[in-house]
A and B are shown apart, each in its own frame.
Chain A
Amino acid sequence: MFRFLLGRLAVLIPTFIGVSIIAFSFIRLLPGDPVALLSGERVMSPERHAEISHQLGFDRHIVVQYLDYLWGVLQGDFGISIVTKKPVIDQFLELFPATVELSLCAIIFAVVVGIPAGVIAAIKRGSILDQLIMGTALVGFSMPIFWWGLLLIIVVSGILQWTPVSGRISLMFFFPSVTGFMLIDSLLSGQDGAFRSAFSHLILPTIVLGTIPLAVIARQTRSAMLEVLSEDYVRTARAKGLPTFRVVGIHALRNAMIPVVTTIGLQIGVMLAGAILTETIFSWPGIGKWMVDSVFRRDYAVIQGGLLIIAAVIMLVNLAVDLLYGLINPRIRH
């Protein structure tokens, strides 16, 4: 297991360096003067330009600049936002819980609905139910998030008025952030109805963000189940007269879950991409919306730093998934 971990890390480190080079080059490759982009000043005298250029270290050799940048990154210095003047990492940490909360809910939703749907489709292979589930999954998979989100808002919030339109909680509630997770904070606040409000605000974004992973998980579960169900040991189990529930639930499902876990892990990266759109539609104050807002604000320091942090997070998540996979399936360690 230790060698497996080392092997994974050996891949991870060059990848991270590669991403850091891309992030570093980002400002320098953009059209326009990097000094102006990073300082946010549009009108500068030549003296001022030289001064800022010196402050930012642009007058040094490019390799020295990069090493300096990388050294800063390793110490958690991802730059300072041009707009808010706050460290990028601080803003990230402030907003990340909102994204995690939404992503967790979405993945739970996708798993809780997706796996049973896939299992049912596999058992009832070829039936109308199977076709219905797989058809729906296909539609869900190909649904543009923006359109799907707006459609749900218009129908569920607008016409039916079942859920609020956007945000994390009703603006009537106002309490300090303790954990950053609204579901927990609203309970801690002790305010009447706060949790209910936080929960109802989560419903639509969860569905929207969870739709694509749900479709993928359902399809993956179905095909993994079908494969497992045709294995000899399942036939043996059936021949022994075990009830279908035991065969499917205990013998088949456990083995079918192995590829599904990888799929779920891979969906986390997809989810962060989806969060950018979902958070924007639902005014959800997480890192996805933060990136989009930063693009509109031309806050290049945030875009640069934020991309690197997000890339690092995705890499770490993938590493964790790999390790987890290695644990449940010893074969792939070799």
Chain B
Amino acid sequence: MKKLTTLFAATALATLMAGTAWSKTFVYCSEGSPEGFDPGLYTAGTTFDAAAHTVYSRLLEFKKGTTETEPGLAESWTISDDGLEYTFKLRPGVKFQTTEFFTPTRELNADDVIFSLERQWKSDNAWHGYVTGGSWEYFAGMGLPELLESIEKVDDMTVKIKLKRKEAPFLANLAMPFASIMSKEYADKLQAEGKMNQLNQMPLGTGPFAFVGYQQDAVIRYKAHPDYWGGKQKIDDLVFSITTDAAVRFQKLQAGECHLMPYPNAADVEAMKADPNLKVMEQAGLNVAYLAYNTTQAPFDKPEVRKALNKAINKQAIVDAVFQGQATPATNPIPPTMWSYDDTVADDTYEPEVAKKMLEDAGVKDLSMKVWAMPVARPYMLNARRAAELMQADFAKVGVKVEIVSYEWAEYLEKSKDKARDGAVILGWTGDNGDPDNFLDTLLGCDAVGGNNRAQWCNKEFDDLVTKAKEASDVAERTKLYQQAQAVFKKEAPWATLDHSLSIVPMRKNVEGFVQSPLGDFAFDGVDIVE
């Protein structure tokens, strides 16, 4: 604490000497406190915004506003013909931040990369358990411990990673926050001084902003990193003003106490749009809500029955009633901001008369079914019971009787996995690495039957395409395969795709250069305030 106080004093002095007249401060009214500042240890977006997207950078980065990857700290890479060896060439001359608590003596090299990944992987690494009770949840969750064979230093600027099997989403995984690159030099110093825990409290990396200080639950301060490899930022200071209440965040934004805020209340959005001092950005979030039939049960094992039911659902009405317009009807199982999204796929239009006829043709009469409604609100489905009631009314029009059922949330998730489950389930998914595999294989692959595949749908044609795409390493080829998979999905209709909710970001009019991320994170490199 003493150290931190000194730090505050020193920075205060520095701020005073620099004068406030020409320093540009950008204030972000963040929604909560970070869990810590080591992105490898945590899974919350709040933490990633405060640590991974400010202080750190990664081998690969997501191209702003997309889910495509681009070179980051790795300038280029090659993949061996068998798809098992990735050789990364590091960007030369990348400088770590100089802060009050550490002055780096060298630039980024292979040791930093190896340190950053191995500490999460190898249980005998001194840093593996440096935070008591901390675990490398994302690293483990993405299956990396089983996937990695070795990480080797070829020379100072080259790192070779060997995999046990082919895995195309691997590169996208390296662009995720948990794969942020730390300074081994800084870590070594902390280890020698017996202050390892500091790595999680005073972070230091190669990112656009250097950490200055954190006052628990109140404010986090950063300064622009003058030698950032991507160029110095236009703003000098970045401040996270932690404001947990969405209504208060809105008031602060209106009063000019902050420049940008995340997660507005749906009810405030109209007022925000009407305020001449504010502007509002919106785009489809990286999520999807769906109604999954149990495709192993009659009559839902027939695609034409599922197709007919899909045509009976008035999706627009659901979007209007549940989201007050802050969502778009979904056509594909992946959101439109995802690469490989196929916009040539035609959605099932709402035609109850046609649907009725299709059911008759399929020999279905007096059908009664269960629709499962989630008991909780999720970003992709704010009110599942309301949606279920609307579907109940829609299905009644084509002569199908619906009984709505619900369970406690944990039980709902568990029970809905059951292969012998009775009824169609409302559920959804938010993507976490920007790879279509994270939706298509995770939710609809044959391996996921009895797990995340709530439709219990195992279609060989679809599964082959998705597996092939997972193993291909060329993005163009993967795109083609995923688009074919989406066509198969639509033809076979294991789900009724319901909606993609919008992600809405209000900000002051004078904010420029902010790009909304489809992955839902908030990064402030490239942002400027104009007067």
Interface positions of A (Cβ within 8 A of B)? 38-43, 52, 80, 82-85, 90-91, 94-95, 150, 153-154, 157-158, 161, 164-168, 171-172, 174-177, 189, 191, 280-283, 285, 289-290, 292-293, 296-297
A82 to B132, CA, bound (A): 8
Assess whether A283 is in contact with B244, with CB atoms less than 8 Å apart: yes
In the assembled complex, B104 has its CB within 8 A of some CB on chain A: no
**Given A90-B1, A174-B8, is A150 in contact with B197 using a C-beta cutoff of 8 Å?**
no
Give the residues in chain B near A177, CB-CB below 8 Å.
Answer: 5, 8
Which of B35, B131, B132, B241 is in CB contact (< 8 Å) with A283?
B241
Q: Cα distance A46–B257 when bound, in Å?
A: 50
Q: Which 4 A-B pairs have the closest CB atoms?
A: A285-B218, A39-B133, A40-B133, A165-B252
A250 to B396, CA, bound (A): 79
With A164-B257, A171-B219, A174-B221: A283-B242 Cβ-Cβ less than 8 Å: yes
Residues of B within 8 A of A161 (CB): 255
Chain B residues proximal to chain A, CB less than 8 Å: 1, 5-6, 8-9, 11-12, 15-16, 20, 25, 27, 32-33, 35-36, 131-135, 137, 140, 197, 200-201, 215-219, 221, 239, 241-245, 247-248, 251-252, 254-255, 257
- The answer to whether A158 touches B216, judged by C-beta atoms less than 8 angstroms apart, is no
- Whether B245 and A280, one on each chain, are in contact in the complex, defined by CB atoms closer than 8 angstroms, is yes
Given A165-B251, A176-B12, A293-B244, also A94-B1 (CB < 8 A): yes
Check if B248 sits within 8 Å of A150, measured CB to CB: yes
- Chain B nearest CB, measured from A203 CB (Å): 14
Q: Is the CB of B243 within 8 A of A283?
A: yes
Chain A residues contacting B132 (CB-CB under 8 Å) are 39, 80, 85
Query: Are B247 and A150 closer than 8 Å at their CB atoms?
Result: yes
CB contacts between A and B, total, < 8 Å: 114
In the complex with contacts A43-B135, A285-B215, A83-B36 CB distance below 8 A: yes
Closest to A170 in B: B257
Of B133, B241, B243, B257, most A-chain CB atoms within 10 Å: B133
CA distance A150 to B218 in the complex (A): 19
Q: Kindly provide the distance from the CB of B162 to the nearest chain A CB, expressed in whole angstroms.
A: 25
**B216–A285 touching, CB < 8 Å:** yes
B35 pairs with A83, CB closer than 8 A: yes
Chain B residues near A95 (CB, 8 Å)? 216-217
* A280 with B241: CB separation less than 8 A: no
Residues of A within 8 Å of B20, CB to CB, are 172
Q: Are B25 and A171 in contact (CB under 8 A)?
A: yes
Question: Is the CB–CB distance between A171 and B241 below 8 Å?
Answer: yes
Q: How many Å from the CB of A271 to the closest CB on chain B? A: 20
A sample of 6 inter-chain contacts (CB < 8 A) reads A41-B135, A43-B135, A52-B133, A91-B216, A166-B243, A297-B35
The CA-CA distance from A167 to B35 in the complex, in Å, is 20
Chain A neighbourhood of B217, CB < 8 A: 95, 285, 289-290, 293
Select which of A153, A189, A280 is within 8 A of B251 by beta carbon. A153
Closest to B253 in A: A165
Residues of A within 8 A of B133 (CB): 38-41, 52, 82
